[in-house]
Amino acid sequence: MVIGAETAPGGKNDLPVEDCRAQLARILNSTEFDATDRERRFLGYVVDETLAGRSNRIKAYSIAVEVFGRDASFDPQSDPIVRIEAGHLRRAIERYCLTAGQTDPILITIPKGGYVPNFSLRPMPSHPVKEMPAAAPAPAPSQPRRRNYVHLAAAVVVIAAAAIALSWWGYWSRSASNKPEVPRLLVEWFDDLSGKSESSALARGLTQEIISQLSKFKDIVVVQARDPSDPPHTRYVLAGSVDLSAEKFRFRVRMLNRADGSVLWAQSYDNATTVPDLLKVQVDVAQNVATSLAQAYGVIFQADAQLAVPNPPDDWTAYSCTLSYYSYRASFDAAARPAVRSCLEKAVERFPNYATGWALLSQTYIDDARFQYPFDPNWSPRLLDRALATARRAVELEPFNIRGLQAQMFALYFKKEFDAAGNVGRQALALNPNDTELMGEYGYRLALSGHWSEGCPLVAAARERSPGPLAYYEAALSLCSYFRGDYQQAAMWIRKANVPENALYQVMAAAVFAEGGLKADAERSRAWLVEHEPDLVKNIPEEVALRFGRPEDVDLFLESLKKAGLEFPDQHIAIAH
């Protein structure tokens, strides 16, 4: 017997019942399937009923009576218990699929809006595994850049600081692993201060929801507290409490340094207690906590960047390359990039299964290409090919690795494959909508490709939620205002960005100030470019065409640069779509 489309809505394959039952057993027997006994019975019931051809019987009432033991007077309209437990179960299944179930052949899901499960074959990675070129240094640019020794000294400090940003927990147990060290966060069950069944359920639900949201970030390991013998290698602990009254609930949460108990971050949330509000707030709070802690410049990153231990093992040294990359990205200091690239190349050579290492290495190759002025038509495309192959390697190793998908999107964009880049970015954001690093970059790529109305709100949201360097988002928002014709707002954002040593910032500033009638400001940007980046000025039509997706946007921007006083030859720029 097989399960067809009529009994597995959304499934595209006819799956044998025996295989579906085996998958159910695989989930229920896994220690990584973090669900209560009731939720496990819930899953077993809906799967068994569907496989027996009785999916039409699966309703909130039947689940409440046959699984939860409620009596015949149960009213699903006034008692949302089935809906709440279904939400918990969906998140438990999602966590399992992202952890122990990554290689399972069959996916079992329960779509929102109902309780009938879907069965489908797990899709294979979109790109076949290809032989990767050896991680060798990037080819030398065709024209040497001037060295800024002040920046070089600063870069050495950045790399040195990142190289010792380590902690001693777990050295002896992981030094021989095939992946480098990543931060581990122990999530304790949140305390119920009210002592009521409702507050107990809320505390448990918040714990599970926060774990679900944190698990979407692939650069940390989330460990759930179960007993006093929890793994000792976690550096950080997340603890919290729930206090419920008739009118509202208060949730307090804090992240601790496990070594000394010091509080590294704390937050409180107060909300109404009506059932619809609680269901929404539970998700909102969990997303806020996960974003604050686990994003690229979040609390965990900041805490790790301040750790210092000499003579670290290989796995910690490889992880420090990740920290050094984000330190570099905060300023895009060209003098720091070669050391960061070399660090990442050594990391993936030592740990070839380190997906995030491959992803960030891809990003450095892209930066080598896009920040080399002028863009070399012979060398730069080859480097973009290498960047795309490196990003695909990251995705092949971990299909859900957000940094890998982001690097793939980035490389496709600069290869002028805008639709493909947008599809990858959309897929990545669906996997983790809390990752502001991805949200901002995806929004920026959408905007620059001509989808300004779609991309700009994402950039604005990323800036609002990100604790990291904001200049990148502010420069993007300046362009959003510029192409909207609001030159006063564009000037406000470009002044906020204020990274005067960045050549592309000066290009944007010149165009924005010129259109806003701010002649003195436009002249300062023009003079800086002529003095510091004459090759960029000579080839500015090609550089602008590399970054914008639509010919009309290129033409408009170049006209603004002419108003700023920049002189460059008029020429037709071919832009592939």
Model confidence at 274, pLDDT cuts 50, 70, 90, reads: low
Indicate whether 422 belongs to any domain: no
CA distance 98 to 216: 8
What is the C-alpha separation between 371 and 374, in angstroms, rounded? 8
Minimum mean pLDDT range among 82-91, 109-118, 525-534: 82-91
545 is in which domain, residue-wise? 435-577
Q: Looking at the structure, do residues 294 and 204 belong to the same domain, yes or no?
A: yes
Length of the chain: 577
The Cα–Cα gap between 437 and 325 comes to 13
3-12, 18-27, 435-444, 524-533: which has the minimum mean pLDDT?
Answer: 3-12
CB atoms within 10 A of CB 263: 10
For residue 9, being part of any structural domain is answered with yes
Domain count, the chain: 3
Helix (H, G, I), strand (E, B), or coil: what is residue 105? coil
Please indicate, yes or no, whether residues 105 and 196 belong to a single structural domain of this protein: no
Question: What number is the average pLDDT over the span 333-360?
Answer: 92
576 and 441 share one domain:
yes
pLDDT more than 70, % of the chain: 82
CA distances from 182 to 170, 214, 344, 354, 577 (A): 11, 14, 15, 10, 39
Report yes or no: 478 and 490 within 8 Å, Cβ to Cβ: yes
Same domain, 452 and 563: yes
Say if residue 372's pLDDT is above 50.
yes
Amino acid at 460: A
- pLDDT higher for 508 or 98? 508
Q: Is residue 487 part of a domain?
A: yes
Q: Say how many CA atoms lie within 13 Å of 511 toward its Cβ.
A: 27
Q: Are residues 117 and 189 in the same domain?
A: no
Same domain, 103 and 236: no
How far apart CA 297 and CA 304 sit, in angstroms, is 10
What was the pLDDT predicted at 570?
A: 67
Beta bridge partners of 185: 222, 236
More confident residue, 270 or 158: 270
Percentage above 90 pLDDT, the chain: 45
pLDDT digits (tens, 9 = 90+) for 220-267: 888 876 544 445 567 899 999 988 877 777 899 999 988 788 899 999
DSSP H stretches of helix in 295-417: 299-305, 314-329, 337-350, 355-370, 379-397, 402-414
Predicted confidence (pLDDT) at residue 147 exceeds the cutoff of 50: no
Which domain CATH number covers 570?
1.25.40.10
Count each helix (H run) and each strand (E run) in the chain, helices first.
Answer: 24, 10
Mean pLDDT within 542-555: 93
**Residue 330 domain-assigned (yes or no):** no
* Domain presence at residue 364: no
Domain boundary among 249, 277, 301: 301
* Domain endpoint, select from 301, 328, 358: 301
In a domain, 469, yes or no: yes
In 3D, which of 304, 408, 314 has the Cα closest to residue 358?
408
Joined tokens for residue 37 = 């006994």
Residue 231 pLDDT:
52
Query: Are residue 189 and residue 84 in the same domain, yes or no?
Result: no
The answer on 200 and 112 residing in a single domain is no
| Widest pairwise Cα distance in the chain | 82
CATH number of the CATH domain containing 252: 3.40.50.10070
Query: Which residues fall within 8 angstroms of residue 13, CB to CB, at 6 or more apart?
Result: 120, 121
| 355 vs 180: CA distance, rounded Å | 10
Q: Point out the domain boundary residue: 90, 106, 121.
A: 121
The DSSP letter of residue 343 is H
Phi, psi values for residue 184, rounded to 5°: -120, 130
Note whether residue 492 is domain-resident: yes
Q: Give the model confidence (pLDDT) of 477-515 as tens digits.
A: 999 999 999 999 999 999 999 889 999 999 999 999 999
DSSP collapsed to 3 states, 250-292: EEEEEEEECCCCCEEEEEEEEEECCHHHHHHHHHHHHHHHHHH
Asked if the structure places residue 153 within a domain, the reply is: no
At residue 97, the pLDDT reads 84
Q: Are residues 489 and 575 in the same domain?
A: yes
Please check whether residues 94 and 228 belong to one and the same domain: no
Same-domain pairing of 97 and 192: no
Q: What would the mean pLDDT of 100-114 be, rounded to a whole number? A: 87
Whether residue 8 is found in the same domain as residue 116: yes
